[in-house]
Structure 1
Amino acid sequence: MKQFLIQILRISSFSIFSVFLFECNNSKTSEYAHAEISDSLRLIPVSSGKIFESHPEFAQGHASTIVAVNPGEYLIAWFGGTHEKHDDVSIWMSRGDGKTWETPQKVAKIRNDPHWNPVLFNAPDGKLHLYFKVGKEIDDWETWVQTSEDKGKTWSEPKELVPGDRGGRGPVRNHILILSDGTWLAPASNEKNKVWNAFLDRSMDGGKTWEATPFLELDRTLIPEEGVIQPTAWESSPGNVHLLMRSSGGKIARSDSKDYGKTWSPIYLTDLPNNNSAIEVAHLGREKIALIYNPVSGNWGDRNPINLAISLDNGKSWKIDQIIEKGDDPETEFSYPSIILDGEHLVLTYTWNRQKVAFWKFKIEGLDSAK
């Protein structure tokens, strides 16, 4: 623990590291300390900061997505404008190494309607995909996609993912998952008349065509009010695929598939709290996963603090559940995270008070030997 604190102090120029340091000395982090002592599983902060401080063309930035385009080099996209739902909201992007970032550039604006929820995806053929939504209201938005063959420096003309669709196909907010049989699995959801449902969009031909599953079975007495949206997926072994979902039931919801995402178990609730805000998982191999989320219960609860958790048993228990950032102001918002595994590093972004996009990079130590 001493060496861990010394390392944080060395990089104390990052203001949010002071929050992390405070939490490591707080009794709330006893699980973290126990994990470090018992099996050497540790998260070591490498870098952090904001992608931008301000920009003359947008007052708000929200719903970021991240991919690695080279070792240690990242591309981040988000939607930005005057305010969510305003007609000037576009898709913006920046490239950097975690310490320095290029000036944000507008990369998508189909028409004078709000743009939403970009999702970046590295395809196996090396082509980079950018998916995003367009529409006045979520009920009737469309999914668009554009591609890049030079790691995001230039982009093709955008096209509708499923021409004529209204309601949203393809990835709704979280990364696409490539299954062991080559299937592309896009975690998806639908929001019609304040009734929310989750489904999966599957592609067997490298994203050219898509087939949607039925909505996942949901007991609305178990999860009242809106329902579930914005799934995040991982495959623990060939064909065994799992989802965690944002829910209005006060806890993170889950469903599982044993046939490569063709059929799914009825949705059930986990023990993890959820405030009806977005979450995402990064797969660390087999049954090991990392989760970024707000550890807050209650429908439309506070989006503060934001935590990073690691499970070694497919989400049954959590060896680490560590506060990343916590604000004192009741209006504080840390939300809509994106997370990836880049070699031995966890790299993540999230909305910071609707004004900026925060970035963190952690080295994972002891993962292979952790039990």
Structure 2
Amino acid sequence: MFNEITNEWIMGPDKPFASCHASSLVMLPGGDILAVWFAGSREGADDSAIWCSRKPGGNSGGNWSQPLKIAAGVEEPCWNPVLMNLPGGELLLFYKIGRLIKEWRTLYKISKDKGRSWSEAKELVPGDRGGRGPVRNKVVVLADGTWIAPASTEDGIWTSFADRSQDQGMTWQQSEDIGIAGIHRSDIQAVKSDIPVSEQSFYGRGVIQPSVWESKPGNVHMLMRSSEGFIHRSDSQDGGIHWSAAYPTSVPNNNSGMDVVRMDDGTLVLCCNPVGINWGPRSPLVLMVSSDNGLTWTQEIVLEDGEGEFSYPAIIAHEDRIYLTYTWKRDNIAYREFSRSSK
């Protein structure tokens, strides 16, 4: 169904940091691809900042630019950048900041020159603690113009929610929490794992880091990372205001991030680690497809299946192509591009 066009790393061996993770990407007007991620000495370290790189598109093609630091905290780590194209050609960057995940603040910057320079950072929702706006995956614009930012909080019991904006990001309305019934704080025990995440992440159960799509006007759906062995799902019939309780899909999940995109004909493409072990291996990394709005999935392509961490994919679609980035062993950000075959 898909033919590979590009398989490359964004950075060479002289990158200016030891560890990188959690990428996001957009296609800019003219065809350039811009990617962002956080990087520093390790996840959660105070030197973790937001970096970006650009790949020329159109007829020129070309190599990725040298990584450029575009946001940093003052003795606080940055996390989970998300890019969004704005009407009129501006570019929006969301990211989290703070040592404690449960007390994250969401900041944003705007670029008027396709990511070459950025405004000063501002709080998305002034005074918020916990993290509003997109927690990791892309914002989706619904048929009626509403923005849906897939969000979640981590404070023992993990829950997801939709952050909605009907004025192009000026104000935000938070939906009710979306969680898994029957999980109580007394049930939560710290998990042992070699995954190099912040230690606070190992103490929590539930669903986080949604990825969202709209199947028809007003009908919105999300897939969520979970601690329970399977990707979970929730559905809304009123444009993301109200949501069903989270329920398991048939796709295994290792409590690691995934992302889904809807192509023009309604085909869903999901990138994930189909490993049904809480905090299990982050390999293999695969592409899966669904032609029935996510009711059933088939494995299409194995992107990585070696030892090490291949995780936190970000995926977008344009016409008959898909573009994705993901963490490659915390050492680099991988970039892949596929075209859809006619058969």
User: 1:231-263 CA distances to partner (integer Å, 9 max, x unpaired)?
Assistant: 000000000000000000100000000000000
**Which residue matches 2:331?**
355
Contact between 2:251 and 2:297, CA under 8 Å: does it hold in 1? no
What SS does structure 1 have at the residue aligned with 2:107? strand
Which letter does structure 1 place at the counterpart of 2:163?
D
Which letter does structure 2 place at the counterpart of 1:142?
R
1:65 partnered with 2:24: yes
CA distance in 2, matches of 1:299, 1:273: 10
CA shift for structure 1 position 90:
0.3
CA shift for structure 1 position 302:
0.5
What SS does structure 2 have at the residue aligned with 1:270? strand
Contact between 1:109 and 1:115, CA under 8 Å: does it hold in 2? yes
**Which residue matches 2:272?**
293
**Which residue matches 1:257?**
236
Contact between 1:113 and 1:135, CA under 8 Å: does it hold in 2? yes
CA distance in 2, matches of 1:70, 1:60: 30
CA distance in 1, matches of 2:136, 2:100: 16
Match 2:111 to one of 142, 145, 148: 148
1:92 partnered with 2:55: no
Q: What is the aligned length?
A: 321
Structure with larger Rg? 1
* TM superposition score normalised by structure 2: 0.90
What SS does structure 2 have at the residue aligned with 1:152? coil
**Which residue matches 1:24?**
none
CA shift for structure 1 position 324:
1.0
Match 1:198 to one of 132, 157, 160: 160
Sequence identity, in percent? Answer: 47
**Which residue matches 1:176?**
139
Which letter does structure 2 place at the counterpart of 1:342?
H
Deviates more, 1:169-178 or 1:286-295: 286-295
The ranges of structure 1 where at least 4 consecutive aligned residues each deviate by more than 3 angstroms after the TM superposition are none
Which letter does structure 2 place at the counterpart of 1:54?
P
Q: How does 1:11-26 map to 2 (within 5 A)?
A: none
**Which residue matches 1:7?**
none
More helix by share: 1
Contact between 2:263 and 2:319, CA under 8 Å: does it hold in 1? no
1:338 partnered with 2:314: yes
Which letter does structure 2 place at the counterpart of 1:147?
I
Which letter does structure 1 place at the counterpart of 2:311?
S
What SS does structure 1 have at the residue aligned with 2:102? helix
CA distance in 1, matches of 2:244, 2:316: 26
CA shift for structure 1 position 149:
1.2
Match 2:258 to one of 266, 279, 298: 279
1:248 partnered with 2:224: no
CA distance in 1, matches of 2:28, 2:14: 24
Which letter does structure 2 place at the counterpart of 1:139?
K
Match 1:212 to one of 164, 174, 184: 174
Contact between 1:312 and 1:319, CA under 8 Å: does it hold in 2? no
CA distance in 2, matches of 1:251, 1:68: 31
* TM superposition score normalised by structure 1: 0.84
**Which residue matches 2:207?**
228
What SS does structure 2 have at the residue aligned with 1:164? coil
User: 1:11-34 CA distances to partner (integer Å, 9 max, x unpaired)?
Assistant: xxxxxxxxxxxxxxxxxxxxxxxx
CA distance in 1, matches of 2:151, 2:265: 23
Contact between 2:158 and 2:179, CA under 8 Å: does it hold in 1? no
* Runs (5+) with no aligned partner, structure 2: 189-204
CA shift for structure 1 position 283:
1.1
**Which residue matches 1:39?**
none
Contact between 1:142 and 1:167, CA under 8 Å: does it hold in 2? yes
Which letter does structure 2 place at the counterpart of 1:47?
T
**Which residue matches 1:322?**
301
Deviates more, 1:201-210 or 1:283-292: 283-292
